Structure 1
Amino acid sequence: MSRVLLRGAQVITMAPDRPDTERADVLVEGDRIAAVGEGLDGTGAEVVDVTDRIVLPGLVNAHLHTWQTALRGVGADWTLADYLGRLHGSVAPRYRPEDMRIGTLAGALSQLDRGTTTVGDWCHNTLTPDHTDAALDGLRASGVRGVFLYGTPYSAAYPLRDVDRLRGGPLLTIGMAIRGPQLSTPDTAVADFRAAAERGLVASMHQSGGEPGPGWEAVRAAGLLSPATNVVHGAGLTEEWFKTLVDAGASVTCTPENELGQGHGWPVIAQLLRLGGAPSLGTDTDAVTPADVLSAARIALACGRHHDHREAPGPFSLEATITAKQALAWATVEGARALGLADRVGRLEPGLQADLVVLDSFGPDPIAAALYARDVEAVMVAGRWRKRDHALLDVDLGAVRERVRESAAHLAG
Structure 2
Amino acid sequence: MARTLIRGAAVVTMDAQGVLPCADVLVDGDRIAAIAPQLPLPEGGDADVVDARGCIVIPGLVNAHMHTWQTALRGVAANWTLPEYFRTMHAGLATVFTPEDLHIATLVGALNQLDNGTTTLADWCHNNPTPAHSDAAVAALLESGIRAAFFHGSPKPDPRPGETPFWERPHPRAELERLRTTHQGSTLLQVHAAVLGPHYATMDVARHDFRMARELDCIASLHQGGGPARSPGGWQQLDAEGLLGDNVNIVHGHALSDAELARFAALGMSFTATPESEMSEGHGHPITGRLRALGRAPSLGVDLESAVSGDMLTQARVAIGLQRSLDNVAHRAAHGTIPATSTVPALEALAWVTIEGARMLRQQHRIGSLDAGKQADLVLLRADTLNMQPLHDVVAAVVFQASPANIDSVMVAGRWKKRAGRLLGVDLAPKLAALNASGRRIVRALGLRTHLAPD
CA distance in 2, matches of 1:137, 1:230: 25
C-alpha deviations, 1:243-266, integer Å up to 9, x for none? Answer: 112111111100001000000111
Q: CA deviation at 1:19?
A: 2.6
In the other structure, the counterpart of 1:343 is: 365
Q: Identify the match of residue 174 of structure 1 among 191, 198, 201.
A: 191
Structure 2 match to 1:198: 215
Q: 5 Å matches for 1:133-282?
A: 133-154=135-156, 155-156=165-166, 157=169, 158-166=171-179, 167-168=182-183, 169-209=186-226, 213-282=232-301
Kindly tell me: are residues 249 and 371 of structure 1, through their superposed partners in 2, closer, same or farther at Cα, counting changes over 3 Å? same
Alpha-carbon distance in 2 for matches of 1:327, 1:20: 15
Letter in 1 for 2:292: L
> CA distance change for structure 1 residues 292 and 183 in 2, over 3 Å: closer, same or farther?
same
> Structure 2 stretches of 5 or more lacking a match?
157-164, 445-455
The separation in 2 between residues aligned to 1:52 and 1:364, in whole angstroms, is 13
8 Å Cα contact 2:12/2:58 also seen in 1 = yes
Residues 17-44 of structure 1: CA deviation (Å, up to 9, x unaligned): 2233432111100001111112212232
CA distance in 2, matches of 1:309, 1:150: 40
Give how far 1:130 is off. 0.5
Q: Is the 8 A contact 1:186 1:216 kept in 2?
A: no
> 1:393 aligns to what?
424
How far is 1:311 from its partner? 2.1
1:264-311 Cα distance to aligned partner (Å, 9 max, x none): 111111100001000100010110111111111111101211221122
Name the SS for the 2:204 alignment partner.
helix
Deviation at 1:211, TM superposition (A): 7.1
Letter in 1 for 2:5: L
Match of 1:334 among 341, 356, 367: 356
Structure 1 unaligned residues grouped into runs of 5+: none
User: If the length of structure 1 is used for normalisation, what is the TM-score?
Assistant: 0.98
Do residues 364 (structure 1) and 392 (structure 2) align? yes
Residue-by-residue CA offset, 1:302-347 (whole Å, 9 max, x unaligned): 1211221122112321211110000000000000111121121000
What amino acid sits opposite 2:316 in the alignment? Answer: A
Give the 5 Å matches for 1:114-125. 114-125=116-127
Secondary structure at the residue paired with 2:348? Answer: helix
Secondary structure, counterpart of 2:19 in structure 1: coil
| C-alpha RMSD over aligned residues | 1.2
Identity percentage over the alignment?
45
Alignment partner, residue 3 of structure 1: 3
> Cα offset for 1:209?
2.9
- Judge which range, 358-367 or 143-152, deviates more: 358-367
**Match of residue 20 from structure 1:** 19
Task: Name the SS for the 2:410 alignment partner.
Answer: strand
> Structure 2 CA distance, aligned partners of 1:315 and 1:346?
37
Question: Which of 89, 92, 95 is the aligned partner of 1:90?
Answer: 92
| Largest Rg, 1 or 2 | 2
Structure 1, 376-385 or 22-31: larger mean CA deviation: 22-31
- Structure 1 distance, partners of 2:91, 2:139, is 25
Q: Is the 8 A contact 1:269 1:303 kept in 2?
A: no
SS of residue matched to 1:220: helix
- 1:67 aligns to 2:69 (yes or no): yes
Q: For residues 95-147 of structure 1, what are the alpha-carbon distances to aligned partners after superposition, in whole Å with 9 as ceiling and x for unaligned?
A: 01000000000100010010000001000001111111001111111110000
Corresponding position: 1:378 with 2:405: no
Q: CA deviation at 1:410?
A: 1.3
1:369 partner amino acid: A
1:206 aligned counterpart, secondary structure: strand
SS of the aligned residue for 1:402 comes to: helix
Aligned to 2:453: none
Number of residue pairs the alignment of both structures matches: 412
- Provide the C-alpha distance between the structure 2 equivalents of 1:177 and 1:19, rounded to a whole number of angstroms: 34
CA distance in 2, matches of 1:396, 1:70: 18
Q: Deviations over 1:187-235 (max 9, x none)?
A: 2212211111111111100001357632211111112222211100011
The one of 101, 108, 111 aligned to 2:110: 108
Q: CA-to-partner distance for each residue in 1:143-164, whole Å, 9 max, x for gaps?
A: 1000000000124432100000
Residues in 1 aligned to 2:437 and 2:228: alpha-carbon distance in whole angstroms: 42
Q: Matches of 1:240 and 1:391 in 2, distance apart?
A: 48
Determine if contact 1:12/1:55 at 8 Å carries over to the other structure: yes
CA distance in 1, matches of 2:277, 2:188: 28
* Deviation readout 1:54-75 (Å, 9 max, x if unpaired): 0010000000001000000111
